[in-house]
Amino acid sequence: MVAAAINILTAFAFLVAFALLRIQPFNDRVYFPKWYLKGLRSSPMHSGAFVQKFVNLDFRSYVRFLNWMPAALQMPEPELIDHAGLDSAVYLRIYWTGLKIFVPIAFLAFTIMVPVNYTNGTLEHSNLTYSNIDKLSISNIPTGSHRFWAHLVMAYVFTFWTCYVLKNDYEIIASMRLHFLASEHRRPDQFTVLVRNVPPDPDESVSELVEHFFLVNHPDHYLTHQVVYNANELSKLVEEKKNRQNWLDYYQLKYARNQSKRPSVKTGFLGLGGKRADAIDFYTSEIERISKEISGEREKIAHNTKSIMPAAFVSFKTRWAAAVCAQTQQTRNPTLWLTEWAPEPRDVFWVNLAIPYVSLTIRKLIIAIAFFFLTFFFMIPIAFVQSLANIDGIEKAVPFLKPLIEMKVVKSFIQGFLPGIALKIFLIFLPSILMIMSKFEGFGSISALERRSATRYYIFQFINVFLGSIITGTAFQQLNNFIHQSANEIPKTIGVSIPMKATFFITYIMVDGWAGVAGEILRLKPLIFYHLKNFFLVKTEKDREEAMDPGSLGFNTGEPQIQLYFLLGLVYAVVTPILLPFIIIFFGLAYVVYRHQIINVYNQEYESAAAFWPDVHGRIITALLVSQLLLMGLLSTKAASQSTPLLITLPVLTIWFHRFCKGRYEPAFIRYPLQEAMMKDTLERNREPNLNLKDYLQNAYIHPVFKGGDESENESDAASEDSDQELELVPTKRQSRRTTPFPSIHSGSSHPSLSELSTSQKSMTIVYVYDVMFLVDLSSNLCKGFLCTIMIMMENI
């Protein structure tokens, strides 16, 4: 009770603090940054009396301080999609799916399961230590009782209802995705594919080779391309210059406020040592030095062939052509000229595009091993934390604290609050570690990085938080016996332990769920950092906009945490139904809070059109299977020999249902139907017959450091010239290609279609095609054998 009161009061305090802080004028940019970024909101500090610019003096707004909750629910879903994107709308549907699943399940569980469990006196007539929660669980059913039939029937009912909700949601979201792709505005990624593992050619550059290949194999549809540069060092220099510029702005502003003394700074490491120099002069000289290094790095990239990676973004004249290219094999060698849908420009993770393709498999193996050891060794601190819930163990370790521990308030705090908050602290650093691992693995888009991190986070939480908490919290003393028992005994051991850990997971839901969601809407960290930046660094409206930190949904951390609550709800629905109301409160509160944040705060970094939903669906199915297997293990220890075998059918039906959904709905999230692409192309041609698509796509996938965001105008123009010079097609040096009939796409002339070529030109084209095929065959033969594979990998590296 003490732990529940602490967590409820903490969540309530966060919500009240947010409701009061959000209506203060000087916090407006912290709690409504999205509207400022859209240009639809102006600061209330620009008008009114001096005091009213900082403090809200309208006392009626304090009476209505909770009106943000109904306001968050007023925006209809179609308008929400236009406002924040399909990713945000579908992310909210995860919470809504939880409510649709668990509200009816909780109603049935409290109507049927709770009376069935509570009306037994098994625990009262035993010598076991138990709580009131245990009397509502399956632990209160005597061994061999016919009442286990109720649990069996409810397991079937809960499974069928969950599958029904999942099927409907999968169908709706697949339809929403196709409708969104068909109705959204034109985007570069709709016409572009990412080509990787371009084979090396001694006579032609990567740019020339890519253009020739697609002119021959996609002659009527190829439009333009952009090779991928290894500009990682240049990016570091640009970021370093930006950092130095921020410090220069700070000291210039400081000097402008007090011109009696020029600011100084130590030039040593982190400004802690070295000679003291004039801060403005020092950072001015540093910026000049870095600018020269940037110019040199630009020249190096422009003229060094090693800076060009064997990859390119290739754009086509129509969406239909891009869909065909992205979803087909380009050559007889399936390891060359690999094509995939290009992520949208803001979703590209440019650093990883510079990784040689042949090293990706090795990187995946390294990360798989590292993740295994991370998951395994993390059990050690988890076991220690969960042992804190055992009062007897603490008293044995520190007997002099026994009088203090036996106090009712302290005992409740240790058992109910401390394990949950300590586990939460351990997990704070985990997402950053997993994201670093995903980046090392080499994914080329931010969305792919987040989805892979989310998968690993879910696996980690399942093993360490769920299984780890159950095993170490209840069978820590018998852990040696558990390790040496047979595999078919594991579900029994875990199943028996599940009812005993209900109290811990209720506390965890309140700490991580209730208080965590309330802390998310309070935005304490962005609030503090915004006011610090606003006071010390901001001098223009642009600086003030940059000081805002709207953040984003954080799919890599948020979605796995949601899945943990799905797992707990499905596992405990039949075993200890008292857990369900706590989960329902979490889903309801989180739905309202994150809807408010999506509408007013978050500025999503990318738009994947809900490509993550198959992962969400698969994890809920996994939770369903785990709940069924653990229930079988639990009932097998209760001598329910007649009812337990009937549970075997449930996992089989669940797997069949998953395979059905995977075949019926998942293709909409992986492939783009050619029919949809042709329809959108036809509509666009009729609406905009004079559209110059080449100008629209020409610079869409140029590396951000070449777009001159932080450089001067002259440097930006020079970068564009370098890019154009690198892409300019030169006459081929290979004899069989000297008469290739297709001119350079950069020469301005349009290339003829195959039907327009003369007989001699067609023969020349055939010669070139066979030449390409010969090179592909040659590359394939070179790749045979272990030694040759290593040589090619070293060459590419």
Q: SS in 3 state form for 26-63?
A: HHHHHHCHHHHHCCCCCCHHHCCCCHHHCCCCCHHHHH
* Residue 265 CB partners (closer than 8 Å, separation 6+): 251, 271, 276, 277, 279, 282, 283
The closest alpha carbon to 104, from 650, 571, 584, 567, belongs to 584
**Residue that wins the pLDDT comparison between 163 and 298:** 163
- Identify the three-state secondary structure at position 23: coil
- pLDDT higher than 60, residue 750: no
pLDDT classification of 53: cutoffs 50, 70, 90: low
Q: What is the pLDDT of residue 209?
A: 94
741 near 212, Cβ under 8 Å?
no
pLDDT for res 161: 97
Q: What is the mean pLDDT of residues 66-79?
A: 90
Say which residue the tokens 């930046």 belong to.
533
Phi-psi region of 753 (alpha: psi -120 to 50; beta: other; left: phi over 0): beta
Nearest to 206 by CA among 349, 96, 309: 309
SS3 748: coil
Taking the alpha carbons at both ends of the chain, their separation in whole angstroms is 61
Percentage, residues of the chain above pLDDT 70 = 76
Q: What pLDDT is attached to residue 602?
A: 94
Average pLDDT on 45-57 reads 64
Please count the residues of the chain: 797
**pLDDT above 90 (res 746):** no
Q: Please, which pLDDT band fits residue 60 given cuts at 50, 70 and 90?
A: confident
> Token pair of 310, please?
């064997």
**Which range in 109-123, 207-221, 637-651 is most confidently predicted, on average pLDDT?**
207-221
Sign of the dihedral defined by the CA atoms of residues 770, 773, 774, 775, in that order: positive
Q: Is residue 682 within 8 Å of residue 184, measured between CB atoms?
A: no
| Separation between Cα atoms, residue 140 and residue 123, nearest integer Å | 6
- How far apart CA 723 and CA 255 sit, in angstroms, is 41
Q: Which two tokens stand for residue 658?
A: 């998953």
All structural domains of the chain with their residue ranges: 2-183+360-670, 192-343+707-797
Checking if the pLDDT of 539 tops 80, the result is: no
Minimum mean pLDDT among 15-19, 68-72, 501-505: which range? 501-505
| Calpha distance 699→558 (Å, rounded) | 34
Residues 150 and 113 sit within 8 Å (Cβ to Cβ):
yes
Q: In which residue are the tokens 């360490």 written? A: 464
Q: Could you tell me the sign of the dihedral formed by the alpha carbons of 112, 113, 115, 121, in that order? A: positive
Position 774 pLDDT exceeds 50: no
Residues 404, 396: Cα–Cα separation, whole Å: 13
How far is CA 509 from its chain centroid? 22
Q: Which helix (H) or strand (E) holds 227?
A: strand 222-229
Contacts (Cβ under 8 Å, ≥6 apart) of 8:
510, 514
CB contact at 8 A, 327 and 333: no
Q: Please report how the helices 613-636 and 649-664 are oriented relative to each other, as an axis angle in degrees rounded to 10.
A: 170
**Tell me, what's the pLDDT at 302?**
81
C-beta atoms surrounding 479 within 10 Å? 12
229, two tokens: 């540069």
φ, ψ for residue 747, nearest 5 deg? -80, -10
**Rounded to the nearest 10 degrees, how much is the dihedral formed by the CA atoms of 730, 733, 736, 737?**
-10
Per-residue confidence band for 763, with pLDDT thresholds at 50, 70 and 90:
very low
- Give the residue-averaged pLDDT of 496-519: 82
Question: C-alpha dihedral over 203, 205, 206, 210, to 10 degrees?
Answer: -70
Instruction: Using CB atoms within 10 Å of the CB of residue 443, give its burial: 0 to 12 exposed, 13 to 18 middle, 19+ buried.
Output: buried
Query: Cβ distance 614 to 111 under 8 Å?
Result: no
> pLDDT value at position 781?
40
Q: Give the Cα separation of 111 and 62 in Å (integer).
A: 41
Residue bearing tokens 């693995």: 441
DSSP string, 530-582: HHHHHHHT--SHHHHHHH-------HHHHHHHHHHHHHHHHHHHHH-GGGHHH
Q: How confident is the model at residue 77 (pLDDT cuts 50, 70, 90)?
A: very high
Whether 297 contacts 212, CB under 8 Å: no
pLDDT band with cut points at 50, 70 and 90 for residue 458 = very high
Q: Return all residues near 602 (Cβ < 8 A) that are at least 6 apart.
A: 34, 84, 88, 550, 551, 552, 553
Helix (H, G, I), strand (E, B) or coil at 273: coil
Tokens of 160: 């069928």
pTM: 0.79
- C-alpha 341/C-alpha 195 separation (Å) is 9
Q: What does the pLDDT look like over 414-441, one tens digit per residue?
A: 666 666 566 666 777 888 899 999 999 9
d(CA 274, CA 267): 5
Three-state DSSP at 421 gives helix
Please report which confidence band the pLDDT of residue 492 belongs to, taking 50, 70 and 90 as the band edges. low
Instruction: Name the least confident of 205-214, 320-329, 363-372, 778-787.
Output: 778-787
Give the CA distances from residue 360 to residues 326, 355, 438, 556, 566, in Å, rounded to whole numbers and listed in that order.
20, 8, 11, 21, 33
